[in-house]
């Protein structure tokens, strides 16, 4: 039996509820594929601040490094909004990513056939959408120096080195090779020197991937094209700030932010989490959608553990559960057989591991 150590960070708000369902599904996968998952819980976010005075205790960082991957729920909430920046829950997540050296954020967007009507876009536009946003996570304007804020003037600098661009581009091309072999690099090379270097470097990397088609698109056009014709995209490669904006825009194509997972990889240990927040307004009510977190567990199996069959089994179980008409409240308007609680949806997906669609 194979054995893996998973650092579990449930976090705040709905985090504990959705993580419990992901673990339920992982345990079911483990039973079928003869895999043992050893979980150890750590604190991060508001709950960590309340208990230790630090949104990211050193114990959590140490625990992550002793693990094969990190499964994370969500952090934050209204009660911590007025804390100094250094103590806010979100700072804990930024510090964890920095400590682990993850630099590539992967955000897949797939529209399930059963939920094409859930999108705000027309069914014929979203049907069949299956794309991946590869966002550089540790550079760009969010981290550029110098930076300064005065009473009448403030500025930030956008900085990327060639090496930073190369490493994120390689991840995008590697992913594209296993998909439809298309990379669209998004920049603003018509006005930004940083984007000019980005484009030149991506073209250099593309020479090592002759079977992958590379195109370029300005970010303003890309934001329009995502709505006009999202099916044209396979892998979108872009920098930190553009990726931040485009990935959130792309997430709404699916119909619910509760469906979409993410992975932060590139360092020694990957971090897997749903893209949605902690939703403190519904915490404890048992109505949160666990699918994004369960899908994040599938990405954990794929990208950190290389357990491809187990990962695919989770993806198929999610699809079957939706096909059979099971929904949480956020997607309950479309093709519903039963509106499920968080726990019920997790159990249905777990029970469908290894079961084929009829």
pLDDT one-digit tens code per residue, 165-205: 999 999 999 999 999 999 999 999 999 999 999 999 999 99
Considering the chain, what is the average pLDDT of its residues? 94
Residues 6+ apart with CB under 8 A from 290: 17, 18, 21, 22, 328, 342, 345, 346, 349
358: pLDDT strictly greater than 60: no
Give the separation between CA 180 and CA 178, rounded to whole angstroms.
7
d(CA 324, CA 318): 10
Q: Residue 32: which pLDDT band, with cuts at 50, 70 and 90?
A: very high
pLDDT of residue 316: 95
Please check the confidence at residue 1 and state whether its pLDDT lies above 90.
no
Quick one: pLDDT at residue 289?
95
At 240 the pLDDT is: 94
Mean pLDDT lowest among 47-61, 80-94, 256-270, 321-335: 321-335
At 264, the pLDDT band (50, 70, 90 cuts) reads: very high
Output the six-digit token pair for 13.
């708000």
Distance CA 117, CA 139 (A): 37
CA 105-109-114 angle, to 5 degrees, is 155
Distance CA 173, CA 21 (A): 32
Q: What pLDDT sits at residue 238?
A: 97
pTM for this entry = 0.92
Catalytic residue among 39, 130, 142, 218: 142
Determine if residue 313 is left, alpha or beta; phi over 0 gives left, psi from -120 to 50 gives alpha, anything else beta: alpha
Is 343's pLDDT higher than 60? Answer: yes
Does 237 have pLDDT greater than 70?
yes
Task: Name the active-site residue from 244, 303, 316, 320.
Answer: 244
Taking the C-alpha atoms of 292, 298, 303 and 307 in order, what is their torsion angle to the nearest 10 degrees? Answer: 180
Say if residues 123 and 116 touch (Cβ distance below 8 Å).
Answer: yes
pLDDT in tens, 39-81: 999 999 999 999 999 999 999 999 999 999 999 999 999 999 9
Structure tokens at 350: 């777990």
CA distances from 270 to 99, 154, 248, 332, 343 (A): 11, 34, 21, 32, 26
pLDDT the model gives residue 12:
97
User: Phi/psi at 276 (nearest 5 deg)?
Assistant: -80, 170
The CA-to-CA distance between both ends of the chain, in Å, stands at 31
User: In whole angstroms, what is the distance from residue 167 CA to residue 150 CA?
Assistant: 35
Token representation of residue 278 = 């902690």
Q: Helix, strand, coil proportions of the chain in percent (round to 5)?
A: 45, 20, 35
Percent of residues, the chain, with pLDDT higher than 70: 99
Active-site option among 20, 27, 68, 248:
248
* 154-170: average pLDDT: 96
Q: With 0-12 CB in 10 A as exposed, 13-18 as middle and 19+ as buried, what is 328?
A: buried
- Confidence at 216, pLDDT banded by 50, 70, 90: very high
Total number of residues shown for the chain:
358
- Please report the pLDDT score of residue 354 as a whole number: 81
Domains of the chain by start residue, with CATH: 1-112+256-358 (3.40.718.10), 120-254 (3.40.718.10)
pLDDT class for 251, splitting at 50, 70, 90?
confident
The residue ranking higher by pLDDT, 94 or 63, is 63
Q: Supply the pLDDT for residue 143.
A: 85
Q: Are strands 148-149 and 130-136 parallel, antiparallel or unpaired?
A: unpaired
Active site residue 244: yes
| Catalytic residue, candidates 188, 302, 316, 320 | 188
Give me 14's structure tokens.
């709905």
Say how far apart CA 115 and CA 53 lie, in whole Å. Answer: 43
Q: How far apart are CA 309 and CA 121, in angstroms?
A: 33
What CA dihedral angle connects 320, 324, 327 and 331, to 10 degrees? 90
Burial of residue 81 (CB within 10 Å: 0-12, 13-18, 19+) is: exposed
Of the pLDDT bands very low, low, confident and very high (cuts 50, 70, 90), residue 356 is low
The pLDDT, as a whole number, for residue 144 is: 86
**Integer Cα distance of 234 and 212 in angstroms:** 11
Under a CB-based contact definition with an 8 Å cutoff, are residues 87 and 55 in contact? yes
Out of 62, 220, 281, 309, the active site residue is 220
At 357, the pLDDT band (50, 70, 90 cuts) reads: low
The C-alpha atoms of residue 164 and residue 255 are separated, in whole angstroms, by 33
């Amino acid at each position: 039996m194979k054995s893996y150590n998973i650092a579990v960070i449930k976090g705040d708000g709905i985090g504990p509820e959705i993580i419990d369902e992901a673990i339920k599904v992982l345990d079911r996968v483990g039973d079928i594929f003869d895999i043992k998952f050893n979980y150890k819980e750590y604190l991060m976010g508001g709950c960590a601040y309340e208990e230790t005075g630090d949104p990211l205790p050193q114990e959590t960082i140490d625990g992550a490094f002793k693990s094969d991957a990190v499964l994370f729920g969500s952090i934050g909430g209204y009660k911590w909004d007025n804390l100094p920046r250094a103590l806010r829950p979100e700072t804990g997540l930024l510090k964890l990513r920095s400590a682990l050296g993850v630099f590539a954020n992967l955000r897949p967007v797939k529209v399930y056939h059963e939920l094409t009507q859930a999108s705000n876009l027309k069914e014929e536009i979203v049907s069949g959408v299956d794309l991946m946003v590869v966002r550089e996570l540790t550079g760009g304007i969010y981290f550029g120096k110098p930076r300064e804020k005065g009473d009448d003037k403030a500025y930030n600098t956008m900085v990327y080195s060639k090496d930073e661009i190369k490493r994120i581009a390689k991840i995008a091309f590697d992913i594209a090779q296993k998909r439809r072999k298309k990379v669209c690099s998004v920049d603003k090379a018509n006005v930004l020197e940083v984007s000019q270097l980005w484009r030149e470097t991506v073209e250099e990397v593309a020479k090592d991937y002759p079977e992958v088609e590379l195109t370029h698109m300005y970010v303003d056009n890309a934001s329009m094209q995502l709505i006009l014709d999202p099916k044209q995209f396979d892998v979108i490669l872009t920098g930190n700030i553009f990726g931040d904006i485009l990935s959130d825009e792309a997430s709404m194509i699916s119909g619910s932010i509760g469906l979409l997972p993410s992975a932060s990889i590139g360092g020694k240990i990957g971090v897997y989490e749903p893209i949605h927040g902690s939703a403190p307004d519904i915490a404890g009510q048992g109505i949160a959608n666990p699918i994004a977190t369960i899908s994040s567990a599938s990405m954990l199996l794929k990208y950190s553990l290389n357990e491809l069959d187990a990962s695919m089994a989770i993806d198929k179980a999610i699809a079957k559960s939706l096909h059979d008409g099971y929904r949480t409240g956020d997607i309950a308007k479309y093709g519903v057989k039963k509106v499920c609680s968080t726990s019920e949806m997790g159990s249905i997906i777990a029970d469908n591991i290894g079961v084929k669609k009829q």
